Structure 1
Amino acid sequence: MARFTSLLLLAAATLPFVFATSSDDCADNEFFYDAKSCCAPQGGISNPPSPPQGENQCPTSGWYWHPEKECCLPKQPQTPSSPPPQCGGNWFWNEGSSTCCTGGSTTTSTTPTPSANASKKRDNIAHKRAVAKARRSVLTCPDDMYACPISGLTGPTGDFECIDPKAELESCGGCVSTGEGQDCTAIEGVWNVGCEQGHCAIYTCAQGYKLSTDGASCLKL
């Protein structure tokens, strides 16, 4: 029976689109992506291909091209505190097609589902307001920088800051506030540390620690 269930899940994952109305329709390792009313794999897929050349692009961080669904999907669930999709150059995010497009402006669209209720509508309104505010912040960020949500003592503040994920010491490789990057200064036992090309580089360890053989951590003596 377990093998039969696994085969059904595998078959569903390979279909161009498996219609879903809520997270209840998704497997344990999936989340509900509202913009396309589908279930998406947590963390994305392994070795995703590039979008068709010249036709579409995917956001520069946290998104990937899904060949069967023929659109860009987020690697993690989208919440009001998630940074908005960021397209490079003169590309603009189109939520309806879930891709970065050229020759237009940023557009959004929401397709209601049969299971929508008052609570979900309120969440959608809050999400739209957060995304709109974030997009205003993104417009002030240079092309090579990302807009990361700023967290306060009680959670996301609704504000964003521009960071360079290739060199930002406290958000190395992506936004720490969304779980994509790493705070290099928080590595246990580090003394001198930097962010090189989106990866933490430990130069020296604090007293009582020594650098590991792979150079990725400090080991307590």
Structure 2
Amino acid sequence: MTLITRIAAAVTLLAVVFPLASAHATENKGCTKKEFWSTLNACCLPIGGPPSPPPPPPQGSNCPPSTHYWGRKQGCCVPRNPPPENGPPPQCPKGWTWTSTVRRCEPIPTPPSNPPPTPSKYHGGNNHGNHGQHDNDNGGGDHDHGIGYNGHRQKRSAHWKSRSAPLCPTGLDACPISSMKSGDYECLDTTTELESCGGCSSIGAGQDCTTITGAWNVGCEQGSCKVYTCAGGYIRARDGKSCIPI
């Protein structure tokens, strides 16, 4: 090998190694061993999240519970661990969707409800007044019957409450809403419900799949949590139900 050939080979080697070293330095940006470089946020972030509880997101915003927290300085949700390479978007709580442009969870728009039905001529409004006048013309017999009808409806409601009827349709569980007043509940399919997988999490049953440490995307299949993707620094456990730090 001639001297010129050796010089050319050395230059080629430096051209390959130098960009790699530069890229590595750019990724670290002076981060400590307990931090990682976040390209999206252009800063070093603590691995696993901050040591003290972070502030709650502002009203109208939310963060993926197990993978992100609200970064006050960044003004958005920041990851607790490096995002997986070519991974899916982070998973927001139920009723929220991830908006990548502002890096936060935003409420899923609720479709407008149907307008209330038009009152019948026997219940309220001018028609009710006409009906009342008609009753008076007939000696009040129909008017008394109308009062009796209302009373009968109230008794039926009370009778229904006293019956031991199921609270939810078949296949759904009545889960108390812990944040609401006593007696309020929601009907959930605990075989697929992400935050009450296998049982009502509000009463300590089942599991909230969104709280699995290190999980990036999860699901609830037949009442059991399943991890699809782990954040950087974690690998899926063999049973697919958790993420193991590496």
Which of the five TM-score ranges fits, normalised by the shorter chain?
Answer: 0.3 to 0.5
Return the index of the structure with the highest Cα Rg: 2
Structure in which a larger fraction of residues adopt helix: 2
TM-score normalised by structure 1 residue count: 0.39
